[in-house]
Structure 1
Amino acid sequence: MSEDIAQDRSGFEIRARIDTTTPHSARFWNYFVGGKDHYPVDREIGEEIKGIFPGLVDVALTSRRFLGRAVRHLAGEQGIRQFLDIGTGLPTADNTHQVAQRVAPDARIVYVDNDPIVLTHAQALLTSTPEGATAYLDADLYEPESVLRAAARTLDLSRPVALMILNTLGHVADHGQARDLVRRLMAGLAPGSYLVISDSTATSPGMIAASEAYNASGAVPYHVRPVEEIAGFFEGLELVEPGVVRVPEWRPDAAAAEDGEATVDAFCGVGRKA
């Protein structure tokens, strides 16, 4: 989708694009993390998948907490003041801009998605501190150069940016294509920028079965990958300790103690561009 799609398109046009008859990943994930922005069709597939693989709820919750830890680390310890969050999903609590601007009120955040229901909520809820900025782009991961050009209206791409791609790359079926999209996005960012990725992984029969059930529902398919393919996204970058690990294991803090030793089928990592 073109970067030139205006952020202020009418609410009627946006609502006209919303399909409430087919499950949608953002609404489905929102249901799993306890949000309220979903339809019966999303809840139905959610309950079906809970029956197949209850552990997917842990994946959703621990992945959300990883987002908070990664953003706090980058904003608080590495001085990052710009975030490009691709595959925003539906706003809940502790979105990227909220976490970043608690640490650094002058942080600037650009969210990217191309789903109409996400756009509707983003326009209403993704507000900013007076010192910083929060913007939303109705744009497409498959057009990385267009995403970067549009993001440059809010972010200074000559300075480091944290590129956040959380629970999104599974929508790209071909691993080679997914790696190429990540590479092209990072190529447009300054040295000192970071890549933050988390994704569900094909690390248990239950997760694989849950993925197959979700893909059979008519929703846009989501492909779980082996861990080595998640690690491949960081090729050429300096991995931040502890490397590519299960999401509860990435720099756990006191707030993450409730995750315990959960063996969730989701891995994550943070890498720095030299």
Structure 2
Amino acid sequence: MTEPTQTSPAIDTSVAHPARRYNYWLGGKDNFAADRESADAIEQKFPGMRAGIRANRDVLGRMTRFLAADGGIRQFLDIGTGLPTEDNTHEVAQRVAPDSRVMYVDNDPLVMTHARALLTSTGEGVTDYIEADLRDPQAILAALRQRDTLDLSRPVALMLIAILHFIPGQGEARPIVRQLLDELPSGSYLAATHFTLDFMPEHEQNTYRQMLDSGMSDIWPRDRAEFTTLFDGLEMVDPGIVLVSKWRPQTDDDSVDPSRISIWAGVARKP
């Protein structure tokens, strides 16, 4: 696999980054040796886990289509954008509603470089980008107020897809989600997915916790109970909180072991 040809001085290629590791798992080429080594180390311990990566990517499309078609949402705040691949949020949303407006947020300069080059909007819609970190929600909100991409007086879909599990610590994700949701009006939605150990056998749970303790993984798992607290005060959309492959699937495929997917999903509306 070839290294990306363009890098920024702000990009540390010696340290694995979640967006580039995710890109590698999805079969992309925008990643470095450190990203691949980190991804391979995790996959070696949990063979077959790419099924979960694929399922998470697929549910992003289904959630976005629901929000644009059934929820009537025309504004999307996608935090933890990741490197561009097929059916990005704006592509799915603008396919349903060409006037959809999408703000992407990521903390990897490489993601932003590729986003500005590849994530182009329809003529009717708008696509914009902020380089910021989910761990600083106030900085994200401040940047939003400085742009006219999203109108925060109108409903917004807050997309937190496979990003909250990079916030370590029991109870640490919920305050961040609250700060963001508090700035969004009634009729807005939260769409989130999150890695969990709930479906894994006990020996794999122990193995994963050892990897987390040793620094071999930076993905912090949360159980269903803690993931559910992210939606406190919101109106859950059917089918509620389920495995990503069970969130409004297009086909009933039960061939994949849930322990290989291990990602919770949920969508809810702010009353």
TM-score (normalizing by structure 2) = 0.89
Moved over 6 A (4+): none
In the other structure, the counterpart of 1:167 is 162
CA contact (8 A) 1:28 1:46 kept: yes
Which amino acid counterpart does residue 124 of structure 1 have in structure 2?
A
8 Å contact from structure 1 (residues 113, 140) kept in 2: yes
Structure 1 unpaired stretches of 5+: 1-11
CA deviation digits over 1:182-207, x for unaligned, max 9? 00100000100000010110221436
Question: Is structure 2 residue 184 aligned with structure 1 residue 189?
Answer: yes
Give the Cα separation in 1 of the matches to 2:171 and 2:257: 30
Where 2:130 maps in the other structure, the secondary structure is: strand
Aligned ranges 1:192-203 → 2 under 5 Å:
192-203=187-198
Q: 2:56 aligns with which of 63, 70, 87?
A: 63
Q: In terms of mean alpha carbon deviation, does 58-67 or 168-177 score higher?
A: 168-177
2:21 aligned with 1:28: yes
Q: 1:266 aligns with which of 240, 248, 263?
A: 263
Structure 2 segments unaligned to the other structure (5+ residues)? 1-5
Using the alignment, how far apart are the partners of 2:209 and 2:115 within structure 1?
Answer: 27
Q: Which residue does the alignment assign to 1:239?
A: 236
Q: Cα distance, 1:140 vs. partner? A: 2.1
Structure 1 length normalisation: TM-score? 0.88
Q: Which amino acid aligns with 2:122?
A: T
Q: Does 1:206 align with 2:199?
A: no
1:182, 1:48 → 2: CA distance?
Answer: 30
Aligned residues between the structures = 259
2:102 to 102, 109, 117: 109
CA-to-partner distance for each residue in 1:142-180, whole Å, 9 max, x for gaps? 222331232242101111100001111111112333101
CA distance in 2: counterparts of 1:91 and 1:111, whole angstroms: 11
Measured on the aligned residues, the alpha-carbon RMSD in Å equals 2.0
Instruction: Give the counterpart letter for 2:263 in structure 1.
Output: A
